Structure 1
C-alpha cells in the first residue's frame, strides 16, 4: 500500500446509524476508509431521490456512490474505481507496461469503493479519464425537470362523485406534456465531452388501492359520455367491492410512470431507467341500491 499525502482526507460515502449520519472517510495514516459517525456529517450525494440526481452521483453494482473521491479523483465506470493523480505527481517513478510509453498513458491512483477501502496504481490511457459520460447523462436528465403524470380517471375524484361496484373504471394520462410523458431530449457537456439523452415513459403501473395493479402501455384513452358502460380499450379496471372500509372511505389510486432514458456521448451509450409516482388520488366506489315498496 502506497502512502497518500496527509493533507487529503475526503468523504466518499455515507450511511445512516440510529444516532447520527455516518461517513466513510479516507485515513491517510492507515490507507483505509473508516466509518465516522460523529455529528455534523452531511450527505455529499444529495440523497439521490430525484431522477438524474445531479452531477455528484454515480452507480456502482446497483448502488449510488459519489462521482468524486479522494484527492479530487473522478469515478471511472471502466476501471470501477476513482481515478486520481498520476504516480509521477505523487513522486513515484514507475515504468510503463510492456508495449506502452509515457505518451500512451500514465500510472494513476485507482481508489476502490468500500467494501475494500484500498487503492492501487492502474495504467490509464491518455485522454481516457475525464468526466464519466454517465454523469453528464444524469445532468441532462436533471435539466429535463420531469414530473409524474397527471391522472385522468373515471369515476372522478371528488366528495360528491362515486363509481359503482362492477362498472368500468377508465384511466389515462391527462394533458400529457414532454416533461410528464416524453419524449424529451436534453444534453450536457463538460470540456470536450458532450452527452445527449432522450427520455420517454414506457409504461404506467396503476395501483388501484384494492390490491390490484394494472400495467398499461401508452397514454390510455380519455373517457367520453358516449362510451357509456364500455370497458376502456387501453387501460381499465373494475372494482369488486365498495370502498367504505377504506381510509377516508375511498380507494387511494396512484400511477407510477416508468421512464427509459437512452443516452449517447463520450464514445459511450447506455440506458437509465427510473420511476415517478403520483400522490394518491381518492376514488369512492359504492353500490347501486334498489328500492322496492
Structure 2
C-alpha cells in the first residue's frame, strides 16, 4: 500500500479517537518535555498568565473560571474515585529525546547491553535518522507522566511502556490504554477544581437560644458554578470540567438538635440555598436551618455545612455534558447556644 494511502487510512482511524479542534485557551507555544521534565506555556505578549499553567507536562490548565481565595479547596468525590495516577502524552521532539538519553548512556549506569539495545531502538548511530530527526515536525516522542500529587500512588507505576513515537494526527498504539484522551483530561481537570469553603449565614446572628429556630442560608453570589479546562495543545484536544452547587447538608454538631428540613439537606431553590432571615419571622419554620435543644454551656457547637457539587464535563469529540462523580466540600463554624432566661416574680 502506498505511503500516502496508509497515512490517509491512519488519519481516518484517528478521527474517531481524537477529533481535532481549536483549543479555547490562551495561545500556548508548547515545547514538549523541555529538559525532559515538563512543558512551557507562553501567552500573548510574552506575559505569564497566572490562570493558565502547564504543571503536568503536556497538559495545560486554564483555571480562569476556577474558585479562588484563601478559603477555597478541592472537592472530595462522594464515591471512591480518583483521576488516573499516570498517563502518556507527547513529551519530546527528536532533539530533546537525544539530549535526554545520551547522557544516561554515557554514564553507563544502566548496563552496556541495555544501552546498546536502546541505541539501536532509537537509531542513535545514524546521524541523520537518529531519534527520528529526519521526521522532525511530523510527530513527537511520547512518554509517561505522573499526575501531580500522586507520586507515591501504586498506580503511578502502571505506565511502564518505553518511550514511543506517534506521527502528528495519528492515534497512539492500541496497546497503550493510558494514552491521554479527552475523558482523562476531564478527570485531571476535576482534580484541579477549587470551590469556596462553606460558612452559612445564621439568624439570629451571634448567640442563638435553646428551642429557637435558627435560619441558615448561603450567599448565592459566592456559590456559583466553577470550571477548569485541561488541554493538550499539541494534540488539539481539550476537556472542561464544571462543578455546580446543588445542595448543602447541615450537621448541627450535636445530637441535641433538629434540622430544617428533617433530613438536614437544603436544596438550591431559584439559585439560592435557604432563605435570608427577615425581621418578624423568628417564630416561623425556616426552609433551611437548625433548632438546638440544649445549651452549649461555656463553649460552642461546631456546626458543619457541606455543599454537594454536581460535576460534569464537555470536550473534544463528545456530544453534550458527560457526568463525573459528585463532589463535596464543607466548613465548620462555632455556634453559641444559650438558655432563655426566665424572670420569677
Q: Distance in 1 between matches of 2:290 and 2:76?
A: 33
Q: Distance in 1 between matches of 2:337 and 2:265?
A: 21
What corresponds to 2:335 in structure 1? 283
Number of residue pairs matched?
190
**Alignment gaps of 5+ in structure 2:** 1-55, 57-72, 89-141, 147-157, 258-262
- The structure with the greater share of residues assigned to helix is 2
Instruction: State the 1:63 CA deviation.
Output: 4.9
1:182 aligns with 2:224: yes
Matched-pair contact (CA < 8 Å) for 1:155–1:283: no
Q: Distance in 2 between matches of 1:207 and 1:136?
A: 34
- The structure with the greater share of residues assigned to strand is 1
1:198 aligns with 2:269: no
Q: Distance in 1 between matches of 2:295 and 2:145?
A: 56
Against the structure 1 CA distance between its residues 83 and 196, is the aligned structure 2 distance closer, same or farther, given a 3 Å change threshold?
farther
Instruction: State the 1:152 CA deviation.
Output: 0.5
Q: Distance in 1 between matches of 2:267 and 2:145?
A: 39
Q: TM-score, normalised by structure 2?
A: 0.46
Q: Distance in 2 between matches of 1:183 and 1:65?
A: 24
Q: Distance in 1 between matches of 2:283 and 2:173?
A: 71
Q: Distance in 1 between matches of 2:179 and 2:302?
A: 47
Against the structure 1 CA distance between its residues 249 and 267, is the aligned structure 2 distance closer, same or farther, given a 3 Å change threshold?
same
Which of 248-257 and 145-154 deviates more?
A: 145-154
Instruction: State the 1:255 CA deviation.
Output: 0.7
Q: Distance in 1 between matches of 2:326 and 2:333?
A: 25
What corresponds to 1:274 in structure 2? 327
What corresponds to 2:175 in structure 1? 108
Q: Distance in 1 between matches of 2:303 and 2:221?
A: 18
Whose relative contact order is higher, 1 or 2, with alpha carbons under 8 Å and at least 6 apart?
2
Q: Deviations over 1:122-160 (max 9, x none)?
A: xxxxxxx7423344224544665321233111232xxxx
Against the structure 1 CA distance between its residues 194 and 106, is the aligned structure 2 distance closer, same or farther, given a 3 Å change threshold?
closer
**Alignment gaps of 5+ in structure 1:** 1-43, 54-59, 76-80, 90-102, 111-128
Against the structure 1 CA distance between its residues 176 and 65, is the aligned structure 2 distance closer, same or farther, given a 3 Å change threshold?
same
Q: C-alpha root-mean-square deviation of aligned residues, in Å?
A: 3.6
Which of 162-171 and 141-150 deviates more?
A: 141-150
